[in-house]
Structure formats: structure tokens, C-alpha cells
Amino acid sequence: MHNKSSNLTLNTHRGIIVTRKLILTVAILISAGCTSTYKHSELQTPSVKLNPAAGVLISIPEDGWYGNTQYPNSGKMTANAVRAAFAKNANKADLAKDCKDEECLSKIDVEKYGYFVKPVILNWEDRATEWTGKSDRIEIQIVIFDAITKQELANSSYSGKSQWATLGGDHPQDLLPEPTNNYVDSLYR
């Protein structure tokens, strides 16, 4: 009887080890599939770092489209991600409320703002990744102007795509913070 009990305990222990290894393997596979990827393309690099004491005014881009689908509030979400990134680096970072695109540049208060930032949504795809295997995608262009001279200082774009193992919780806006923060940080450091 003692042998049967020992074998049962040994088999239970082996089963627990196998279960733990299986759970660890699944967790590793899921986490590897949950990593989003980004690409950055510098069209014009600023010749000097941006001044953190100068305020930044950011326009709100038009909402993104993919095919016949418009994504409401994607412009506002993009502008908010850009504002959040600049707010970490600049004394003042505000969204433009009374103007759009480069119209803001002609109306900018140079006493308050040293830079005007124009984000543009080039691509915005919200896919049912967990069912289709197609990744969510974004492509954002950020153009930065000197508020006084009205000259373009920097022009860059980045794209991102989610991985297939999103479990239904990811959206294109979730792809905005990492590349936006990295790019804006590089402008100041």
C-alpha cells in the first residue's frame, strides 16, 4: 500500500511539473505574439535639438481612413498622443482649437509657442486581429515648424502594426504612444 501511495504522489508531482511547463510555454508564445513592431522614417532631421522652454502648439489631424471605413476620433487620439509626448519634454504643449493644419501656423501666438506641430494620419486600420490574423496598423507623419520663421524644422513618419495575439483588446490608438514618445524624446535629447 505504501508503494501505491508513493507512486500516486510521484505521478501527481510529475503532472504538476508538466502542467507548469505547458503554462510557461503558452505564456512565452503569447507574449512573443503580443509585441508590436514599429518602423521610423526620417524625412528631415532638425539641425539642432528643440528648446524645452519653447511652447508647442499641435493641430488635430483629419480622422484616419482605411478603404471605405472612417475611424471617428482617430485624429483627436493621434493629437492627444503627440501632445502627451511633447508635454514630457516642453514647458507647454497644447492642442489647437480654432484652426486646422498649416492655417494654425499663420495664426500662432509666438509669445506662447516656439513650435507648431502638424500630425497627419497616413494609415489607420482597426482589424479583428484575433479572428482574421490581420494586424492593426497605423502610419503617422509629424511635421514640425518654427513658429517665428515658419520654416519646417523636422519631418518624420513612423508606422506600427500589432501582432496576431492581441486577444481582442488592441486598437490602432494603442500603437501610438511608444513610437510617438521615442520620436519626440529624440528631438530634445
pLDDT confidence of residue 44: 78
Say which residue, 16 or 120, is predicted with more confidence.
120
pLDDT at 130: 58
Summarize pLDDT for 156-170 with one digit per residue, the tens: 999 998 865 545 557
Whole-model pTM: value is 0.77
pLDDT at 165: 53
Decide if 166 contacts 34 (C-beta within 8 A). Answer: yes
Residue 136 has pLDDT above 60, yes or no: yes
pLDDT at 128: 64
- Say which residue, 79 or 13, is predicted with more confidence: 79
pLDDT-derived band at 22, boundaries 50, 70, 90: very low
